[in-house]
Amino acid sequence: MKTARFLQEQPIFGGVGDQAMQSIMLLMRELHFAAAEVIVQEGEDGDSLFVICSGSVEVLKASPVANGTFGKRIAVLQVGDVFGEMELIDTQRRSATIRALEPVSVLALSNADLFQIYESDPQTFTLLALNLARELSRRLRNIDDLAVHYMATNSRPDPS
| Residue type (1 letter), 110 | S
The pTM (predicted TM-score) of the whole model is: 0.82
Domain presence at residue 43? yes
Identify the pLDDT of residue 86.
Answer: 77
Domain presence at residue 128? yes
Secondary element (H or E) of residue 100: strand 97-100
Tell me how far apart the alpha carbons of residues 57 and 125 are, in angstroms, rounded to a whole number. 27
Domain presence at residue 24? yes
What is the domain-level CATH number for residue 86? 2.60.120.10
pLDDT per residue over 16-44, tens digit each?
A: 999 999 999 999 999 999 999 999 998 88
Domain presence at residue 160? no
Domain presence at residue 159? no
Domain presence at residue 49? yes
Angle, helices 122-154/111-120, rounded to nearest 10 degrees: 130
The domain containing residue 26 runs over which residues?
4-154
Q: Looking at the 3D structure of the chain, how many domains does it have?
A: 1
pLDDT per residue over 127-147, tens digit each?
A: 999 998 888 888 777 777 777
Which candidate, 49, 55, 58, 66, places its Cα nearest to that of 117? 49
Confidence check: pLDDT of 2 > 80: no
Identify the pLDDT of residue 157.
Answer: 59
Binned at pLDDT 50, 70 and 90, residue 54 comes out as very high
